[in-house]
Structure 1
Amino acid sequence: MEKTQLQVTDNAALVIVDVQKGFEDGFWGRRNNPEAEGNIAALIDVWQATGRPVVFVRHDSPAQSRSPLRVGYEGNDFKDFVQERRGKGSGPEVLVTKSVNSAFYGEPDLDKWLRGAGVRQVVIAGIQTNMCNETTARMGGNLGYEVLFPLDAMHTFDLAGPFGWTATADELSRATAVSLHGGRFARVVTTRDVVEAAG
């Protein structure tokens, strides 16, 4: 990843996407980036220490589905390291629940909440890199936000596609990074870049 000089605004929002226990149960297959959780925790800690806004996003799959993220199932809960941090910062915090990929299509309305707080820059981290994180980043870019995407503060899983094609989690993460950064939807950076700029 290229080195970047970042400026993180005083009211930049950290959007933590779907860091839920259901992603730990083997349903999804082989994952990448075992450092993701530690980097996500580091971002939450610096955001809370500096009083910046934090958005916790939870994916609520329908209760009748077989998804490990379904409502009423333990997999719907946030991972412990996230749950333990909720409500611990001095800045504003909100829980957004959704049933689709983009955090901007959830309750309460994320765009309305961010604009109401005067936020123009967002940092996206969580699960999965090429799914809800990428979709949220693309929509955030379309809505006019400056989106920072710390690639090492997220992970994804190997995936099968059409025509017998498959892609590893690392390949998918790289493709997401190239598409978002090259397409100017977001600026792909590292957790260290963001923590140093925000501290």
Structure 2
Amino acid sequence: MQTKHTALLLVDVQQAFDHPSWGARNNPQAEQNIASLLGHWRARQMPVIHIRHFSVHAASTLHPSHLGVAYKTEAMPITGEKEFTKSVNSALIGTGLEDYLHQQKIDRLVIVGISTDHCVSTTTRMAGNLGFTTYLVSDACATFDRRRADGKLFLAEDIHQIHLCSLDGEFCTVRTTAEILSAE
């Protein structure tokens, strides 16, 4: 798996998700696992791609006028790593990412990021549908508690696990950080 044709795709690992307005979150170790994967990719000089969300809504913590659009410390790009910005959930819509992957002959993606049920899931689904061999790292992504319109609360961990279950085997292969790091 670990070749120049396998990219680590970091989706929306941004400071905005530390804002209390997002609510309770699962996987508090996600950023640490992302940092471990990023170090592994860098040490092997494999492709790393950063995706950053720029909301079109001025009040959003992810709007370019807010500090929250900055990358989290654990996921700061370095020189030579490709960056794309998006304003929709999928990193493959309107970004040039798909063309870049084909140009670089990258056919395998290892996806991490925030949030599991929004941009991570949408990007994973599209990548699988576009024919990329796709891995989603279960403990290197996270989401938040959500309330339905009627007020019913759904816990972040339940949402996270349901999305992983729905994606695995259909759009991607779900693996842990340890499994990805030990795969050769």
Please confirm whether the aligned pair reaches a TM-score higher than 0.5, indicating the same fold.
yes
- Among 78, 93, 107, which residue is 1:105 paired with? 93
Aligned to 1:188: 174
Aligned to 1:197: 183
Aligned pair 1:51/2:49, yes or no? Answer: no
Task: Give SS of 1:27's match.
Answer: helix
1: CA distance, partners of 2:163 / 2:73: 27
2: CA distance, partners of 1:101 / 1:145: 18
2: CA distance, partners of 1:8 / 1:130: 26
Aligned pair 1:129/2:122, yes or no? Answer: no
1:34 counterpart letter in structure 2: P
How far apart are residue 164 of structure 1 and its match?
Answer: 4.6
| Matched-pair contact (CA < 8 Å) for 2:32–2:74 | no
2: CA distance, partners of 1:168 / 1:98: 27
TM-score (norm 2): 0.94
Superimposed CA distance per residue, residues 84-118 of structure 1 (whole angstroms, 9 cap, x where no aligned partner): xx225xxx5211100010000143x1110001111
| Matched-pair contact (CA < 8 Å) for 1:96–1:106 | no
How far apart are residue 165 of structure 1 and its match?
Answer: 3.8
1: CA distance, partners of 2:108 / 2:130: 11
Superimposed CA distance per residue, residues 113-142 of structure 1 (whole angstroms, 9 cap, x where no aligned partner): 001111111010010011100000000000
Q: Percent identity?
A: 39
How far apart are residue 151 of structure 1 and its match?
Answer: 0.6
Task: Give SS of 2:183's match.
Answer: helix
2: CA distance, partners of 1:162 / 1:179: 23
Q: 1:163 to 1:9 in 2, by over 3 A?
A: farther
Aligned to 1:143: 130
| Matched-pair contact (CA < 8 Å) for 1:55–1:94 | yes
TM-score (norm 1): 0.87
How far apart are residue 27 of structure 1 and its match?
Answer: 1.2
2:18 counterpart letter in structure 1: E
| Matched-pair contact (CA < 8 Å) for 2:54–2:63 | yes
Aligned pair 1:66/2:56, yes or no? Answer: no
Aligned length: 184
1: CA distance, partners of 2:150 / 2:125: 26
Task: Give SS of 2:22's match.
Answer: coil
Task: Give SS of 2:39's match.
Answer: helix
How far apart are residue 81 of structure 1 and its match?
Answer: 2.2
